[in-house]
């Protein structure tokens, strides 16, 4: 394959005191970061100094688990609502993209269309929507249901939800608002479009009461790993988050997804695939390794065992077992491939229970000098295994600082990353086209 001449795209996960499960206990971390807007402001401005494409906020509309003994040893039980936080951050940043997660399972499309259109206006074209179908089943209890919506239903609803949101964003032509004091006309009624959607899950008349977003549509992000999730991604996603194990599986996913997208009439460059990665950067490899080990040593065994239970399933009780002994025999899983992969890893590498949960806590670490990290990014990128990375910074602000000060300049030196933002919108950073209004298209014909 030919050598790529485009550049990497980099997103930064914005998680309270850091992405690592023990981040809040690190001596450098601000333990109450989750409640401190100044903390998020510093992080956002630092990421923007590094010219990163976007900030990304994950979300769950419930507590992130109900095992209080473990949860109470993490900083995951509280976090700001993403659109509210990103709206505030829009006011203290200029260029960086702002991607919020919102579920289609426990929301209404009119609300979502309106909120993201508003964020896009407030930020002058920097909004992105990470469309999820809800991983945490407990969310159901907060929305009048006693159990989670089934997986296939979640995706059917998501498809229709997405189509309604996009339709609502096209409620107005780009030039519908005249605001002409002299003539007294505020908008041109001929440039207003009523969606009139009637479907299996939604009946939405429209139009939206917010002007068409500056980007036309905020950038659509998706991260589902199942067959249904991939299908939706291939049809609608412009950025896809993935968690592949190695460069070969990354290449396979990249190829398959872009082929699948071609089946929906979409070009390969209309979708940016960004695997998650957790960099630990040091001036030397030893220093990087020490930083990693320092954090891993802070993982409370109860939290580690919960990570294991979440991955392997509740039917495996590890409580009476020696943490430094092997994983006991486990029945074949019903939880799908992640369970099997994790068990296979433990057997293959002869890992103890503690070593296994530390692997899960480490979350795909890349440990080394700035050159090592840049080598790895370059290898993935040039192998067509990704279009960039979504970076999990283990502890704020230090690991983001060392990334911005050491890794970004190395990537720039290699021509792999921008030195300055050339555009103003998130679409422009990602090299994505601005979509035409579906109603104007209908009027003017192809």
Annotated binding site for FMN: 59, 101, 151, 155, 226
CB of 168 to ligand FMN, least distance (A): 22
CB of 60 to ligand FMN, least distance (A): 5
Tell me whether residue 98 or residue 353 sits nearer to ligand FMN (CB atom).
98
Tell me whether residue 61 or residue 343 sits nearer to ligand FMN (CB atom).
61
What gap in Å lies between CA 302 and CA 300, rounded to an integer? 5
CB of 58 to ligand FMN, least distance (A): 3
Tell me whether residue 58 or residue 96 sits nearer to ligand FMN (CB atom).
58
Tell me whether residue 309 or residue 391 sits nearer to ligand FMN (CB atom).
391
CB of 432 to ligand FMN, least distance (A): 19
Residue nearest to ligand FMN (CB): 229
Known binding positions:
59, 101, 151, 155, 226
Tell me whether residue 238 or residue 410 sits nearer to ligand FMN (CB atom).
238
Taking residue 424's Cβ as centre, other Cβ atoms within 10 Å add up to 15
Tell me whether residue 328 or residue 336 sits nearer to ligand FMN (CB atom).
336
Q: Applying CB under 6 A, which residues contact ligand FMN?
A: 58-60, 101, 103, 132-135, 223-226, 228-229, 241, 243, 276
CB of 243 to ligand FMN, least distance (A): 5
The answer to whether the CB of 197 falls within 8 A of the CB of 226 is no
Two structure tokens written together for 338: 């992640």
Structure-token match 């010219």, residue found: 51
CB of 136 to ligand FMN, least distance (A): 6
Tell me whether residue 133 or residue 369 sits nearer to ligand FMN (CB atom).
133
The answer to whether the CB of 387 falls within 8 A of the CB of 272 is yes
CB of 392 to ligand FMN, least distance (A): 9
147, 222, 350 from 131: Cα distances, Å: 21, 5, 38
Closest by CA position to 352, among listed 308, 291, 396: 308
Taking residue 410's Cβ as centre, other Cβ atoms within 10 Å add up to 20
CB of 239 to ligand FMN, least distance (A): 11
């Amino acid at each position: 394959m030919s050598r790529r001449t485009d550049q990497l795209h980099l997103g930064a996960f914005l998680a309270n005191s850091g992405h690592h499960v023990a981040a809040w206990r690190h001596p450098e971390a601000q333990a109450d970061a989750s409640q401190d807007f100044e903390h998020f402001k510093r992080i956002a401005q630092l990421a923007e100094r590094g010219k990163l494409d976007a900030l990304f906020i994950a979300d769950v509309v419930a507590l992130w688990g109900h095992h209080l003994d473990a949860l109470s040893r993490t900083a995951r039980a509280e976090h700001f609502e993403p659109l509210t936080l990103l709206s505030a951050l829009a006011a203290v940043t200029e260029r960086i993209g702002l991607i919020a997660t919102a579920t289609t399972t426990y929301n209404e499309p009119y609300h979502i269309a309106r909120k993201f259109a508003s964020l896009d206006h407030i930020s002058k074209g920097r909004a992105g929507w990470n469309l999820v179908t809800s991983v945490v089943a407990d969310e159901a209890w907060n929305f009048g249901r006693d159990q989670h919506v089934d997986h296939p239903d979640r995706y059917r609803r998501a498809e229709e939800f997405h189509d309604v949101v996009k339709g609502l964003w096209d409620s107005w032509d780009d030039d519908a608002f005249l605001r002409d004091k002299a003539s007294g006309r505020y908008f041109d009624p001929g440039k207003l479009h009523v969606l009139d959607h009637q479907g299996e899950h939604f009946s939405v008349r429209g139009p939206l009461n917010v002007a068409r977003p500056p980007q036309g549509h905020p950038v659509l992000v998706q991260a589902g790993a199942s067959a249904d999730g991939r299908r939706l991604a291939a049809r609608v996603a412009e950025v896809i988050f993935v968690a592949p194990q190695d460069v070969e599986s990354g290449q396979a996913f990249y190829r398959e997804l872009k082929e699948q997208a071609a089946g929906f009439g979409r070009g390969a460059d209309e979708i940016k695939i960004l695997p998650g990665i957790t960099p630990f950067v040091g001036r030397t490899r030893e220093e990087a390794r020490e930083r990693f080990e320092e954090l891993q040593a802070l993982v409370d065994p109860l939290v580690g065992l919960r990570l294991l239970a979440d991955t392997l399933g509740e039917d495996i009780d590890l409580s009476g077992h020696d943490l430094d002994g092997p994983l006991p025999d486990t029945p074949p899983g019903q939880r799908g491939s992640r369970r099997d992969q994790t068990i296979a890893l433990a057997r293959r590498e002869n890992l103890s229970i503690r070593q296994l949960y530390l692997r899960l806590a480490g979350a795909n670490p890349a440990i080394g000098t700035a050159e090592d990290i840049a080598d790895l990014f370059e290898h993935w990128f040039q192998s067509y295994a990704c279009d960039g990375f979504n970076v999990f910074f283990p502890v704020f602000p230090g690991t983001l600082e060392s990334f911005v000060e050491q890794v970004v300049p190395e990537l720039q030196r290699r021509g792999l990353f921008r030195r300055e933002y050339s555009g103003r919108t998130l679409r422009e950073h990602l090299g994505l086209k601005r979509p035409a209004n579906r109603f104007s298209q209908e009027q003017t014909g192809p």
